[in-house]
Structure 1
Amino acid sequence: MTEQGVRWTAEQVLALAPDAASRKAGSKLGTAGPWSGSGSGEGTVWGLCKGSGSRPYQTVVDFADATGPAYKCTCPSRKFPCKHALGLLLLWAEGDGAVPAAAEPPEWAEQWLSGRRKRAESKRTEGGGSSAPGSADPGAARRRAERRAERVTAGATELEQRLVDLLRGGLASAEQAGYGLWDETAARMVDAQAPGLASRVRELGAVPASGPGWPARLLEECALLHLLDQGWLRRDRLPDALAATVRSRLGLPASADGPPVRDRWLVLAQYDTVDPKLTTRRIWLHGAESGRTRLLLSYGAAGRAPELTLPVGLAVEADLSVFPGAGQLRAALGEQHAPPAPVALRPPGVSTAEAAARYGDALREDPWLESVPVTLDRVIPTPDTEAGSWQLADAEADSALPLTPSARSRPGLWRLAALSGGAPVKVFGECGHRGFTPLTAWPEGPGTPVTLC
């Protein structure tokens, strides 16, 4: 990284910001004026930022971690990274000497760095020398799993009866009942320790208010829920991989027990989804040698960003282990062999027709799959005047993919249109039954990736 003279871009730095306000405030601090005593070296950047008080804020960023950058600042902000860390990184990214290379960090930075790295090493040592929680008594773990399976079975059986009652009474009753019907049913699924069923049931409550054609959509969702129920109730007849997929869709715990794959993993996209209790971060990776696409998930309590952070456009040489299940792309980040660093690598792309076919093929292994990760080659963002929306038109063929409603309402759509300017671009995103959601784009010629989410 800094030792090799390779620095992040401003776009990659701003992708770390927890929200738009932090991006704006951090950008204002990305100049040399408020900073003093700044320096960098061995995967670390530090500096003193003048604030409203008499003493400057001490800010340090540590890159040498498998979970992405870590931050320390003496300011009172509860956001990670804070605006001072973002400003320091933007100043460092400029590469004009404002953050010079130094032999050693100052004492205040070194104390935090050494303590943090000692704790990380201690965790690795303890993890390698002791058994996992609960493994000391496999009999007790088996009994807990059996009791949970019994509760899930009871919940799935009850849900089947409620679906039957709904269809016998007619779908119009769902519109009259409103959210109350589904909230109560979802609560029953939570009691049954089947969070996946509870989540899908809650989503049914919004279908009757989704506009014309809602009965057909509700019937489709009920059919998928029935299929998931039956998959669990008849799991002993399913192939092992499909049974594992059913368990994951129900929300039952699983471990990444697949063989680790070492590769240079390009960070394709990173974005958060927020609900009242949890923030979920999704990070898509592409293996330079293996050609595989994998998904990392990280979670944070409400109001706090998840710890795992890998800015788009960087590549990390690391081991990934996949979770069980047919067609599952989720993986766990294992040992990191080199710090994340910018690369010129781009993923190979496919046509819009091939992207749609890829989603159709994936549904055979996982019928509940909302979308698949796809990189589109040479597409042009174009208004669809007949549908009153936008689409990605294939520059080489007479085909296109419509954008999802959520993508059409994001500022990223206008960044994509500006990047294209009517010319073909390469776009990575998620392709599903609602359309295509663009997440990252690259210009035709040389250039850094532009995040759209």
Structure 2
Amino acid sequence: MTQQGVRWTADQVLALAPDDASRTAGSRLGSAGPWSRTGSSREGALWGLCKGSGAAPYRTVVDLADPSGPAYRCSCPSRKFPCKHALGLLLLWSGGEPVPRAEPPEWAGQWLTERRERLLGEGEQEERTEGSAAGTAGGVADPEAARRRAERRAERIGAGATELEQRLADLLRSGLASAEQSGYGLWEETAARMVDAQAPGLAARVRELGAIPGSGPGWPARLLEECALLHLLDRGWLRRAELPEGLAATVRGRVGLTGTADGPPVRDNWLVLAQYDTADAKLTTRRIWLYGTGCGRTALLLSYGPVGRAPELALPVGLALDAELSAYPDTGRQRAALVERHAPPEPTPVRPPGVTTVEAAARYGDALRDDPWLESVPVTLDGVVPTPDGDSWQLADADGGTALPLTSSAASRPGLWRLVALSGGAPVKVFGECGHRGFTPLTAWPTGAGEAVPLC
């Protein structure tokens, strides 16, 4: 990118931030004031000294040339990647501030050289490893032992599903009102039993059930709906041999058996549609939506990090990545693995094609036939206007005929006001997730020319 003189936008830089606090702190460092001795190289590196609270400035360097994504090094004590200083340096560069071409100073050059030599060495080692594996018939794994382990786990999951069916039957027999009286402890005990059965997907759904009783008006209906979906998943697992292969793969994934990305690799320029994180008590999950500008497919990359730490994989929204993806085995085949990157992300004028609000709702309905437990589907809405709807908001087609309500979580996000400001009452293109709770906008594009605006 730097060789071509193309700079990222501020939104694309801030999309790399691990959290809102880093995004805010990095924005404050995006001007020339705290920086000195900044520079850039033709190979795609940036560096500079940032004044901090101590006597010595922080040494910050960013490597943009690696196809696997940006890399960062900073002498500050932060454990976040990228830290606020790396974000500030990227914002300084993206904003057109003078970052002269120069030879890197010793402290930056040493890290860049060591990093690139290490990457080269890892690539050679990987080639040797692959060659050795190819020359060893069958490798070192024992397929029979793996088959026996899989059978034992399937038996444990089956026992857990059977026990869960009995718990659900007891709940319905005693009445839904008893769920509020029993408290969360009963659900946590049941979830622990599903963990013992090596069915983390069932455990997660049981914990979600425990949060519904007493959660507000209409909770018995919501609890009954979720119990029905959990019962359906139980029965699907217990009778998986009778299901079509695609649906059986979906059931395995929903229960918690992670498959491998066995789809044929698809190389394309993948437009980064959106990136956002969700966290629980143990894990931070990053979701990155991509659109193949050549194949027309939408794919989901998942990346994980321990609690309090952002996942390593980060892609700037609005740029396109020349890469190969391989799909996971389920009926939708939207989740994919990043097999290989051939070049760093770079700008593209391509935008995903859009649909109407009616077509978006129909798309979600069609997807439920293949995956009844699906929360939402990725959709790009074309020519919609954000409009208030009582105490909430909706996205209405430009002709005013139909609209999709925003989810309650989306209506409370700061990104809603960015969307409203971008629209100004005019139609915009919006990418997001459409499900039974409504539409969650994630990225928007203004009418005509303009950069992607992340909303999450």
Alignment-mate amino acid for residue 25 of structure 2: A
State the Cα distance separating 1:135 from its structure 2 match.
5.7
Cα distance in 2 for partners of 1:134, 1:326 equals 30
State the Cα distance separating 1:87 from its structure 2 match.
1.0
CA contact (8 A) 1:67 1:310 kept: no
* Residue of structure 1 aligned with 2:355, choices 347, 350, 356: 350
Cα distance in 2 for partners of 1:421, 1:135 equals 62
Superposition RMSD in Å: 1.7
User: What is the SS of the residue equivalent to 2:419?
Assistant: helix
Structure 1 residue 422 and structure 2 residue 425: aligned?
Answer: yes
Structure 1 residue 185 and structure 2 residue 190: aligned?
Answer: yes
Structure 1 residue 40 and structure 2 residue 37: aligned?
Answer: no
* Residue of structure 1 aligned with 2:209, choices 204, 215, 222: 204
Q: 1:88 to 1:381 in 2, by over 3 A?
A: same
Aligned to 2:240: 235
User: What is the SS of the residue equivalent to 1:30?
Assistant: coil
State the Cα distance separating 1:348 from its structure 2 match.
0.7
Cα distance in 2 for partners of 1:141, 1:207 equals 39
Cα distance in 2 for partners of 1:115, 1:228 equals 50
Aligned to 2:107: 108
- Note the alpha carbon deviations across 1:17-61, whole angstroms, 9 max, x for none: 222322222222212232222222312211122333333221111
Alignment-mate amino acid for residue 22 of structure 1: S
Aligned to 1:19: 19
Q: 1:146 to 1:60 in 2, by over 3 A?
A: same
Aligned to 1:334: 339
State the Cα distance separating 1:328 from its structure 2 match.
2.8
TM-score, length-scaled by structure 2: 0.95
Structure 1 residue 8 and structure 2 residue 8: aligned?
Answer: yes
Aligned to 2:82: 81
Aligned to 1:215: 220
Cα distance in 2 for partners of 1:322, 1:71 equals 29
The total of aligned residue pairs comes to 449
Aligned to 1:138: 143
Cα distance in 2 for partners of 1:202, 1:145 equals 25
* Residue of structure 1 aligned with 2:444, choices 420, 424, 441: 441
Alignment-mate amino acid for residue 178 of structure 2: S
Q: 1:412 to 1:135 in 2, by over 3 A?
A: farther
Aligned to 1:120: 119
Structure 1 gaps of 5+ residues are none
Identity value in percent: 76
Cα distance in 1 for partners of 2:4, 2:175 equals 67
Cα distance in 2 for partners of 1:152, 1:114 equals 50
CA contact (8 A) 1:348 1:375 kept: yes
User: What is the SS of the residue equivalent to 1:89?
Assistant: helix
Alignment-mate amino acid for residue 362 of structure 1: A
CA contact (8 A) 2:68 2:344 kept: no
User: What is the SS of the residue equivalent to 2:381?
Assistant: strand
State the Cα distance separating 1:134 from its structure 2 match.
9.1
Aligned to 1:391: 394
Alignment-mate amino acid for residue 62 of structure 2: V
Structure 1 residue 29 and structure 2 residue 34: aligned?
Answer: no
TM-score, length-scaled by structure 1: 0.95
Q: 1:120 to 1:243 in 2, by over 3 A?
A: farther
State the Cα distance separating 1:397 from its structure 2 match.
5.0
4+ residue runs of structure 1 moved beyond 4 angstroms?
130-135
Cα distance in 2 for partners of 1:108, 1:134 equals 43
296-305 or 118-127, larger mean C-alpha shift: 118-127
Structure 1 residue 56 and structure 2 residue 61: aligned?
Answer: no
Cα distance in 2 for partners of 1:136, 1:325 equals 25
- Note the alpha carbon deviations across 1:247-300, whole angstroms, 9 max, x for none: 111111211110000000000000000112110000000010111000000000
State the Cα distance separating 1:335 from its structure 2 match.
1.2
State the Cα distance separating 1:240 from its structure 2 match.
1.1
Cα distance in 2 for partners of 1:247, 1:115 equals 43
Alignment-mate amino acid for residue 156 of structure 1: A
Aligned to 1:71: 72
Q: How does 1:370-385 map to 2 (within 5 A)?
A: 370-385=375-390
Alignment-mate amino acid for residue 218 of structure 1: L
CA contact (8 A) 1:245 1:328 kept: no
State the Cα distance separating 1:379 from its structure 2 match.
0.5
Cα distance in 2 for partners of 1:451, 1:28 equals 19
Q: 1:159 to 1:67 in 2, by over 3 A?
A: farther
Cα distance in 1 for partners of 2:341, 2:40 equals 21
CA contact (8 A) 2:15 2:315 kept: no
CA contact (8 A) 1:382 1:390 kept: yes
Q: 1:252 to 1:439 in 2, by over 3 A?
A: same
Alignment-mate amino acid for residue 428 of structure 2: V
Cα distance in 2 for partners of 1:126, 1:227 equals 47
Cα distance in 1 for partners of 2:375, 2:256 equals 16
Q: 1:135 to 1:442 in 2, by over 3 A?
A: farther
CA contact (8 A) 1:154 1:192 kept: yes
Alignment-mate amino acid for residue 229 of structure 2: L
Cα distance in 1 for partners of 2:336, 2:83 equals 29
State the Cα distance separating 1:67 from its structure 2 match.
4.1
User: What is the SS of the residue equivalent to 2:343?
Assistant: coil
Alignment-mate amino acid for residue 241 of structure 2: D
Alignment-mate amino acid for residue 24 of structure 2: K
Q: 1:222 to 1:349 in 2, by over 3 A?
A: same
State the Cα distance separating 1:66 from its structure 2 match.
4.3
